[in-house]
Chains A and B, each alone.
Chain A
Amino acid sequence: MDNMKVLTNGFIKENPVFILVLGMCPTLAVTSSVVNSLGMGLSTTFVLICSNIIVAMIKGFTPAKIRIPVFIVVIATFVTIVDMTMGAFMPALHKSLGLFIPLIVVNCVILGRAEAFASKNNVLSSTLDGISMGLGFTLALSLIGAIREVLGAGTLLGFAVLPKAYIESPMLVAILAPGAFITVGFLMAIINMMKKEK
């Protein structure tokens, strides 16, 4: 496997959200603002890199039969580490991501990559794969978060970007649940369109 290729795969060609359609729950649930998107994306990236490294390291002496439970324990450990450290150092973000931090465990991106990539490749390319997939995931989440925050609140990263009149009565639906589905739906359609033109 060409390492450079592994590193760039996750951004567009195999973007976990738009192309592989993995990890939809956090994608839709926490993207009501860019800050939340970034927090979720980076936490997932951290867990993804760490679990990929450990899985690639222990794949030699883990019997195939108990592979999945061992992977799950590894992932759950890192998720709990993120949960604790975020609670101690970033309490505000911890509060707004809430239930979705422990739920990183069942984010299909992580178990999917452990099973499909890290259990078959060496430590270095597994690390790169974790970085690539994680950042691709973060990128997708931030894009969705940016669109929803601008439309739904008239702000970006908390700063006003649209006229005051808009901020006072914005298109609220964009930060509510339906807006999440519709935004992601249109983004996927746009990506499909771009792929076809190539």
Chain B
Amino acid sequence: MEFLAKMMVMAVGAIFVQNFVLARFLGLCPYLGVSKKLDSAFGMGMAVIFVMTMASAITYLIQVYLLIPYGLGYLQTIAFILTIATLVQFVEMVIQKNSPSLYKSLGVFLPLITTNCAVLGVAILNTTAKWADGTPYNFLDAVLNGFFSGVGFTLVLVLMAGMRERLEYANLPKSMKGMPIALIVAGAMALAFLGFSGLKM
């Protein structure tokens, strides 16, 4: 029961209160780049959830069993980014071999994820994140945090794509079309998500 409650706190925190895109400003490139069509946004979101969960697990193990015991904390950035790049390649290969249909829908997004700062962001945040009582995240917490952060990313990405599909038909001044109006809509969305901050469980 206690575990479930903890999980709820983390889920609401990662998805709404500290949303990766709107509150932490991570993963903005895909958020603005892949949100023109609803189905590609959904595909990207799924790929990000998957990679973020996996990356959280592996980087956590690297941090705790390699970097800290050997006093190599300063290599964190290099170690994490290489791990993520390798992981993305590996996932791409596995999916390509075993599930061609899944590869067709996710494949194009996978290489983009290496430079998605949300993935590196969650990996670094997991190493410093703490619960309210000061205990650091354990392995399971880190993995769940990666998963829920990915869900939060997907949620706003899909919402944004839904709005942008409609914006295509809006009668806008020419210079506002495309990226400018997308950013302003994102601003309005961030304003709405600001209402979640300070939510206490």
Asked if the two chains touch in their complex, CB atoms less than 8 Å apart, one says yes
What sequence of 0s and 1s flags, for each residue 2-33 of chain A, a beta carbon within 8 Å of any chain B beta carbon?
Answer: 00000000000000000001111100110000
Contact between B183 and A25, CB atoms less than 8 A apart? no
Contact between A192 and B175, CB atoms less than 8 A apart? yes
CA distance A111 to B187 in the complex (A): 27
CA distance A184 to B31 in the complex (A): 15
Contacts of A102 in B (CB 8 A): 76-77, 120, 124
Contact between A24 and B29, CB atoms less than 8 A apart? yes
- Closest Cβ of chain A to B55, distance in Å, is 12
Contact between B77 and A76, CB atoms less than 8 A apart? yes
Of the stretches A56-64, A79-87, A128-136, the one at the interface is A79-87
Contacts A181-B190, A185-B180 known; 6 new A-B pairs at CB < 8 A: A106-B81, A108-B115, A177-B25, A180-B187, A185-B183, A196-B174
B12 within 8 A of A: no
User: Chain B: interface residue count, which band?
Assistant: 35 or more
Tell me how many residues of A have a C-beta within 8 Å of chain B.
42
Task: Identify the A interface with B (CB < 8 A).
Answer: 21-25, 28-29, 68-69, 72-73, 76-77, 79-80, 83-84, 99, 102-103, 105-108, 111, 173, 176-182, 184-186, 188-190, 192-193, 196
What sequence of 0s and 1s flags, for each residue 46-89 of chain B, a beta carbon within 8 Å of any chain A beta carbon?
Answer: 00000000000000000000000000001111100110011000
State the main secondary structure of chain A at its contact with B.
helix
Contacts of B75 in A (CB 8 A): 80
B125 within 8 A of A: yes
CA distance A148 to B41 in the complex (A): 30
Contacts of A23 in B (CB 8 A): 29
B176 within 8 A of A: yes
A185 and B182 contact, Cβ closer than 8 Å, known pairs A25-B26, A72-B81, A196-B174? yes
Contact between A196 and B28, CB atoms less than 8 A apart? no
A25 and B25 contact, Cβ closer than 8 Å, known pairs A178-B194, A181-B190, A188-B183? yes
Contact between B81 and A76, CB atoms less than 8 A apart? yes
CA distance A190 to B29 in the complex (A): 21
CA distance A96 to B74 in the complex (A): 19
